[in-house]
Structure 1
């Protein structure tokens, strides 16, 4: 108003004040601003003060506008995660690859918040992660992993498999979706995708998948699988290993679950127990490595995120500690760490003093130095 700007000119000024190149754009509008203010009797020091204040705001207007946008995204995401955790988890799984957290960590977090996550199923799964009713899951919704989450299947084949549902048997699947290779069918069997629908355990369906793969040209009933061997079923630890290999996700068992008895005997604390450990007390923690980070502002410190079956553990590794245990700290997929608890304002860290490898039943890939 002080410069008599039209609606279009006012919008240009607004954009200039929130632009990444705000200084240059403000200079281009300066002459028009001063002319408009002069026409309304605003000149000299007062006009300079008005322009200087607008130009000063423009220096941080761009990050401020972005911070508002990010704040809205954070608020919306937090609301959905709190009230609809199954929806939140499924949406993030379907948006992969993305972001800081791996699908394995996203699923483990959802499980800790009461969400049931099911393995892929040839007749129950779509090509992507979906929701299904489940009285045992938070909010009555469970997440069903998609066929596309299985190693080596790919989006196009997963779509074809999903569109052809339901299937009566492995032979029916192989005949109707000839694009499925033997390796893809074996990966699906390893993931347990045939167990519920075809009423058989993983080892037997894996054996049959090897015979059915690439056999779409055979006549129905001509594969001669009546003399299949008797195979032992998989133990829970073996199923967890199979899940991690086939999908990168273990819905029913975190790798540290199977080591908890031995770890507890050594005095190793879980992530949720750290909240009850006094500040500066020495502890031992263990978990799979999810991240390694070394921010420019950390003065050489490296931050390691560990995950066990109860949650995440933040570990701070000083420059000297990293140099001392570099090979293990950098390369091991899971770690056993001794250090001191640092607790302040609700944030809990473990300041590492000693680092050794933790040998888990299955490895989970970490996301390092991103």
Structure 2
């Protein structure tokens, strides 16, 4: 270790060459002498010893199990044998000198054969705070509670829980600014740093990465858990990178699950070049499926009938079985061959499932269904069977129905499929937002650090972690992308009602940028839910598969009642169950 220690045992970055030794659990005087013999010349020695140290003497050495170490003058004995001055400290204290930053109260906790602790204030060691032999629970010491014997005896799950409890105890006892967790990771330092440099990373960045890993040490999750999670994360990342179409279909078929709702999955897939096709009575099966495209190396994702809200599984099975290899020629044909009730057909109409193949818009399809019953009349059914074609029960006159507005189509998509392949709802409000000098989310996230601006979007997620000290993190979305918001406690308390209940909000604040991490620190929040409700009355011209969608599942239970939206807002995603809607209502996820 290229450093020196003064009378207060603090860090100095220049001075004589010091040999640092970590005795560990098996070090002996002769072994140390033999190990140092072939080394280059040095001026003095620093030793980290696993035990309680006072003035160069070993007070206790519990890991060695030999009473002869008790009150042994190890520093003097080694100095006499090697002919060099020796400074003897606890091993956790020595490790701490290599990692602390020298700012505030810093605590080092090492986990190995036993547990080691060291406390530094502004880079100065606070001596005699080795806690390894102190009781922590009943008659158990820190060594007994979180040492390697406890890990082998009680298993990784219980041991990890104990480590977390120990960290909480240390925090309540010391109120530290930084905690460093050390263990057996240090031996990989050179390999990691040299490998990162060889792959084009800067040395400073590589060393910073290692320090973060070293702080995590050999504690973290149990190795089996960490390895399993790493494998799943790698496999998922590889699949998403090389086969985004397969990845998208698989996630949609696994719903409900996880953090991301179908609308976010579909939007991300489309942003990465995946063609997502709407629900179709002649093409969709129960699950979302893959369909060939003109590009031979990638498939299109066809949304499955499972995406249609309120459509029973038995009706889906009947439709798929009746269709077989012969597509339905009309609504009446589907009704007769599949034998599903008229209510199931209404669900398909609401999901716009007759448009892709039969070219029937929602209103035209619903008009055709009004003439149907739950079952065909026996006479017409027998005639259809004899003629081997559908014989309609009545000849309906051609009626020109007024088409739905573009905004109304989007509202219906959200209400009955949970996502839209048309334009994003906020795109209908863009001109109004632009006149109010409200910039798109993507532009806000590209802005320079410190810029004041206002952006707006649908509220996707609200999070208030327990460790955030009252800070809320919000994610909003518009047609250009997402924006991440930081809401400080003062702003949150001042505008609690808007922040917790708004389905769409405008946020005025200052951009905070650190590298590629960008947040908008909120200064003022405005509720735009009324503007969002007007989307169903707006019109625009756009092709069918053009735009993006979004939704979020209901948040976790147990919120403060004051934090809950008004009781009238009981929708999931953006619809009122069982009713036609003309306004978009987004239910966000709450994490507190």
Q: Which bracket does the TM-score occupy, shorter chain normalised?
A: 0.7 to 0.9
Q: Deviations over 1:247-295 (max 9, x none)?
A: 0110122111211222223222223223431112111111111111111
Aligned to 2:304: 146
By how many angstroms is 1:175 displaced? Answer: 1.7
**1:90: which partner in 2?**
249
**One of 118, 121, 128 as aligned partner of 2:277:** 118
Q: Residues 301 and 267 from structure 1, CA distance in 2 versus in 1: closer, same or farther, beyond 3 angstroms?
A: same
Distance change (3 Å), C-alpha of 1:71 and 1:16: farther
Select between 60-69 and 190-199 the one with higher mean Cα deviation: 60-69
Given the superposition, is the C-alpha separation of residues 213 and 114 from structure 1 closer, same or farther in structure 2, using an over 3 Å criterion?
Answer: farther
Matches within 5 A, 1:238-257: 238-257=408-427
Task: Work out the CA distance in 2 between the residues paired with 1:75 and 1:232.
Answer: 51
Mark the structure with the bigger radius of gyration: 2
Q: Which residues of 2 match residues 20-31 of structure 1 at below 5 A?
A: 20-22=157-159
Change (3 A) 1:92 1:225: farther
Contact in 1 for aligned 2:336/2:376 (Cα 8 Å): yes
Shift of the alpha carbon at 1:146?
0.8
Task: Give the whole-Å Cα distance in 2 for the aligned partners of 1:15 and 1:161.
Answer: 57
Q: Deviations over 1:44-82 (max 9, x none)?
A: xxxxxxxxxxxxx99837533322222222222122222
Q: Does the 8 Å CA contact 1:271/1:308 hold for their aligned counterparts?
A: yes
Inter-partner Cα distance in structure 2 for 1:16 and 1:264: 64
- What stretches of structure 2 of length at least 5 have no aligned partner? 1-149, 162-215, 382-390, 536-583
What is the alpha-carbon root mean square deviation over aligned residues? 2.8
Deviates more, 1:145-154 or 1:273-282: 273-282
Asked if 2 retains the 8 angstrom alpha-carbon contact of 1:279 and 1:343, the reply is: yes
In the alignment, is residue 214 of structure 1 matched against residue 374 of structure 2?
Answer: yes
Gaps of at least 5 residues in structure 1 are: 1-12, 25-56
1:108 aligns with 2:267: yes
Paired with 1:318 and 1:88, the residues of 2 have a C-alpha distance of 37
Equivalent of 1:172 in 333, 342, 345: 333
Q: Which moved more, 1:203-212 or 1:340-349?
A: 203-212
Q: What's the counterpart of residue 50 of structure 1? A: none
Conserved? CA contact 1:170–1:212, under 8 Å: no
| Correspondence list, 1:169-248, <5 A | 169-178=330-339, 180-212=340-372, 214-217=374-377, 219-220=380-381, 221-248=391-418
Change (3 A) 1:312 1:132: same
The offset of 1:15, in angstroms, is 8.1
Instruction: Provide the residue aligned with 2:187 in structure 1.
Output: none
Aligned counterparts of 1:318 and 1:268: Cα–Cα separation in 2: 21
SS at match of 1:303: strand
Q: 1:122 to 1:268 in 2, by over 3 A?
A: same
SS at structure 1 position matched to 2:156: coil
**Partner SS, residue 343 of structure 1:** strand
Q: Measured at CA, do residues 14 and 164 of structure 1 come closer, stay the same or move farther in structure 2, by a change above 3 Å?
A: farther
Partner in structure 2 of residue 347 of structure 1: 517
The count of residues paired between Structure 1 and Structure 2 equals: 324
User: Is residue 591 of structure 2 the alignment partner of residue 369 of structure 1?
Assistant: yes
Distance 1:321 1:87, change over 3 A: same
Change (3 A) 1:16 1:65: farther
Aligned partners of 2:506, 2:434: CA distance in 1, in Å?
12
Mean Cα deviation higher: 62-71 or 235-244 = 62-71
Mapping of residues 41-120 of structure 1, within 5 Å? 60=219, 62-120=221-279
Q: 1:23 to 1:292 in 2, by over 3 A?
A: closer
Provide the secondary structure at the position in 1 that maps to 2:371: helix
Residue from 155, 161, 169 that aligns with 2:313:
155
Q: CA deviation at 1:17?
A: 8.2
Q: Distance in 2 between matches of 1:216 and 1:331?
A: 48
Taking the aligned partners of 1:186 and 1:158, their CA distance within structure 2 comes to 13
In the superposition, the TM-score normalised over structure 2's length comes to 0.51
Tell me, yes or no, if the aligned pair for 1:203 and 1:233 is still in contact at 8 Å.
yes
Structure 1 residues 176 and 18: alpha-carbon distance in aligned structure 2, compared to 1, 3 A threshold: farther
Q: Which runs of 4+ in 1 moved over 4 A?
A: 13-18
Match of 2:136 in 1: none
Partner of 2:504: 334
Superposed counterparts of 1:283-362, under 5 Å: 283-358=453-528, 359-360=531-532, 361=535, 362=584
